[in-house]
Structure 1
Amino acid sequence: MGSCIICGTSVDGHICDVHEEDAVFEFRGDSPEQLTPGRYYRGSVDGFAEFGVFVDIGDEVTGLLHQSELDSRLESLDWQPGDTVYVRVTNVRDNGNVDLSWSIRQADEEFRGVLIDDPDEDHELLPEETDESTETADESTSADDEAAEASGSDETDETTTETADRQTTGSVRTGSDSGATVGSVGDTESTPETEAAGTDGPVDETRADREPEPPTVDVDDLDDWIGETVRVTGEIVVARQTSGPTVFELRDGTGTVDCAAFVEAGVRAYPSVGEDAVVEIDGEVRERRGDLQVETEELTLLEDDERGRVLEGIEAAIRSRARPEEIEPLVADEAVAAESETIADVVEEIRRAVMEDRPVIVRHSATADGYVGGAAIERAVLPLVRERHDRDDAEYHYIDRRPIEGDVYGLDDATTDVTRMLSDRERHDEKLPLLVFAAAGGTEESADGFELLDVYDVPRIVIDTVVEPAIADVVETALAPTAEATTIATADGTTRGPTATALAATVAAHVATDVRDDLVHLPAVSYWGTIPDAYAEAAADAGFDETAIDEIREAIALGAYYQSYEDKRELVTDLLFGEQDATAEDVRGLASHVSEQFRENVDVAVATAEANLERRTVDGTTIGVLDLEQFTHGYDFPPATLLLDELYRRLGEELDAIVGLGADELHVRSEHSVDVRELASSADQAVEGADLEALSTRSHRIEFLAGQRESVREAVLDALAASL
Structure 2
Amino acid sequence: MSEKCEKCDGRGYNVVGTKKCPECKGEGKSKSVDLMKLSEKEVSNFLRNGSSCSKCKGKGELEMRDECMACSGKGAFYKCKVCGVAVDGLFNGEEVCPSCAKKQIVYKLDDSCDINEMDVGKLYHAVVRNIADFGVFVDLNSNMTGLIHSSNMKDKLEVGEAVIVNLKEIKQRGKMDLVPVKVKEYETIGLEKSLPVILTSELPNHVGRTLKVEGEIIQIKQTAGPTIFTIADETGQVSSAAFASAGERAYPEIESDMIVSAIGEITSRRDGIQLEIKGMKQLSGPREIDIRKRIESALDKRAEPHEIEFMVKSEVLEKLRPAMKEVAKVIRKAIITSTPILLRHHADADGMTAAVAIERAILPLIREVNGSDGEYHFYKRAPSKAPFYEVTDVVRDINYALEDVARHGQRMPLVVNVDNGSTLEDVPAMKQAQVYGIEMVVVDHHHPDAEVDQYLEAHVNPAHVGGDFGMTAGMLCTEVARMINPEVEAEIKHLPAVAAVGDRSEADEAKVYIDMVSDQYSLQDLKNIALALDFEAYWLKFNSGKGIIDDILNFGDTKIHKNLVKLLCEQANGMIGEQLEVCMSHVKSQELPNTAILNVLDVENYAHKFTFPAPGKTSGEVHDRICRKFEGKPIITIGYGPDFAVIRSKGVKMNIPVMVRELHDEIKGGGVNGGGHLVVGSIKFVEGMRSEVLSKLVEKVGSVDVE
Contact 2:594 2:704 in 1 (8 A): no
> How big is each residue's C-alpha offset from its partner over 1:121-167, in whole Å with a ceiling of 9 and x where there is no partner?
xxxxxxxxxxxxxxxxxxxxxxxxxxxxxxxxx99856x54687535
Aligned residue in 1 for 2:388: 408
Aligned residue in 1 for 2:369: 388
The whole-number CA distance in structure 2 between the counterparts of 1:201 and 1:321 is 53
Contact 1:327 1:343 in 2 (8 A): no
Q: 2:531 aligns with which of 545, 554, 559?
A: 554
**Alpha-carbon distance, 1:552 to partner:** 0.9
Aligned residue in 2 for 1:696: 675
Aligned residue in 1 for 2:476: 503
Q: What does 1:28-47 align with in structure 2 at a 5 Å threshold? A: none
Change (3 A) 1:570 1:188: farther
Paired positions, count = 534
Contact 2:219 2:410 in 1 (8 A): no
Q: 2:598 aligns with which of 612, 623, 627?
A: 623
Aligned residue in 2 for 1:515: 488
> How big is each residue's C-alpha offset from its partner over 1:31-72, in whole Å with a ceiling of 9 and x where there is no partner?
xxxxxxxxxxxxxxxxxxxxxxxxxxxxxxxxxxxxxxxxxx
- Find the residue that maps to 2:604 and give its secondary structure: helix
Change (3 A) 1:686 1:617: farther
Pair 1:596 & 2:596 matched: no
Q: Which amino acid aligns with 1:464?
A: D
Change (3 A) 1:395 1:683: closer
> How big is each residue's C-alpha offset from its partner over 1:240-261, in whole Å with a ceiling of 9 and x where there is no partner?
8889877654221233334445
Contact 1:623 1:658 in 2 (8 A): yes
Change (3 A) 1:552 1:265: closer
Q: 1:454 aligns with which of 434, 441, 465?
A: 434
**Alpha-carbon distance, 1:517 to partner:** 0.6
Contact 1:246 1:269 in 2 (8 A): yes
Aligned residue in 2 for 1:533: 511
> How big is each residue's C-alpha offset from its partner over 1:618-647, in whole Å with a ceiling of 9 and x where there is no partner?
324331111212321122211121222333
Contact 2:347 2:385 in 1 (8 A): yes
Q: 1:657 aligns with which of 620, 636, 641?
A: 636
**Identity value in percent:** 26
Aligned residue in 2 for 1:463: 443
The whole-number CA distance in structure 1 between the counterparts of 2:252 and 2:297 is 29
Aligned residue in 1 for 2:620: 645
**Alpha-carbon distance, 1:459 to partner:** 1.2
Q: Which structure 2 residue ranges, 5 or more long, are not aligned? A: 1-131, 147-159, 169-173, 179-187
The whole-number CA distance in structure 2 between the counterparts of 1:266 and 1:696 is 52
Q: What does 1:190-229 align with in structure 2 at a 5 Å threshold? A: 213-214=195-196, 216-223=197-204, 225-229=206-210
Pair 1:575 & 2:548 matched: no
Contact 1:408 1:696 in 2 (8 A): no
**Alpha-carbon distance, 1:695 to partner:** 2.4
The whole-number CA distance in structure 1 between the counterparts of 2:569 and 2:320 is 34
Change (3 A) 1:486 1:282: same
**Alpha-carbon distance, 1:448 to partner:** 0.6
Q: 1:331 aligns with which of 293, 307, 312?
A: 312
Pair 1:254 & 2:229 matched: no
The whole-number CA distance in structure 2 between the counterparts of 1:248 and 1:657 is 59
Aligned residue in 2 for 1:353: 334
Change (3 A) 1:211 1:485: same
Change (3 A) 1:586 1:545: farther
**Alpha-carbon distance, 1:400 to partner:** 1.2
Change (3 A) 1:199 1:723: farther
**Alpha-carbon distance, 1:713 to partner:** 2.9
**Alpha-carbon distance, 1:427 to partner:** 1.9
Q: 1:423 aligns with which of 384, 400, 403?
A: 403
Q: Which amino acid aligns with 2:233?
A: D
Contact 1:409 1:445 in 2 (8 A): yes
Contact 2:254 2:281 in 1 (8 A): no
- Find the residue that maps to 1:357 and give its secondary structure: coil
Contact 2:663 2:672 in 1 (8 A): no
Contact 1:677 1:693 in 2 (8 A): no
The whole-number CA distance in structure 1 between the counterparts of 2:266 and 2:601 is 69
Q: Which amino acid aligns with 1:380?
A: A
The whole-number CA distance in structure 2 between the counterparts of 1:187 and 1:657 is 85
Q: 1:679 aligns with which of 655, 659, 682?
A: 659
- Find the residue that maps to 2:309 and give its secondary structure: coil
Q: 2:419 aligns with which of 433, 436, 439?
A: 439
Contact 1:677 1:694 in 2 (8 A): no
**Alpha-carbon distance, 1:407 to partner:** 1.0
Aligned residue in 2 for 1:587: 561
> How big is each residue's C-alpha offset from its partner over 1:252-306, in whole Å with a ceiling of 9 and x where there is no partner?
1233334445567899877876555434322112468967542233447655554
Change (3 A) 1:238 1:711: closer
Change (3 A) 1:363 1:688: closer
The whole-number CA distance in structure 1 between the counterparts of 2:407 and 2:379 is 18
The whole-number CA distance in structure 2 between the counterparts of 1:554 and 1:264 is 56
Pair 1:613 & 2:587 matched: yes
Change (3 A) 1:397 1:323: same
Q: 1:669 aligns with which of 648, 654, 677?
A: 648
Pair 1:563 & 2:540 matched: yes
Q: 2:609 aligns with which of 634, 646, 650?
A: 634
**Alpha-carbon distance, 1:574 to partner:** 0.6
The whole-number CA distance in structure 2 between the counterparts of 1:703 and 1:235 is 47
Contact 1:461 1:478 in 2 (8 A): yes
**Alpha-carbon distance, 1:368 to partner:** 0.9
Change (3 A) 1:577 1:213: same
Pair 1:705 & 2:680 matched: no
Contact 1:282 1:296 in 2 (8 A): yes
Give the alignment's TM-score, normalised by structure 1.
0.65
Aligned residue in 2 for 1:30: none
Contact 1:624 1:655 in 2 (8 A): no
The whole-number CA distance in structure 1 between the counterparts of 2:421 and 2:365 is 26
Could you say which structure has the larger radius of gyration?
2
The whole-number CA distance in structure 1 between the counterparts of 2:358 and 2:228 is 32
626-635 or 272-281, larger mean C-alpha shift: 272-281
Change (3 A) 1:702 1:231: same
**Alpha-carbon distance, 1:344 to partner:** 1.5
Q: 2:521 aligns with which of 523, 544, 553?
A: 544
Q: Which amino acid aligns with 2:636?
A: A
Q: Which amino acid aligns with 1:645?
A: G
Contact 2:600 2:640 in 1 (8 A): yes
**Alpha-carbon distance, 1:687 to partner:** 6.0
The whole-number CA distance in structure 1 between the counterparts of 2:698 and 2:145 is 79
The whole-number CA distance in structure 2 between the counterparts of 1:544 and 1:551 is 10
Change (3 A) 1:362 1:167: farther
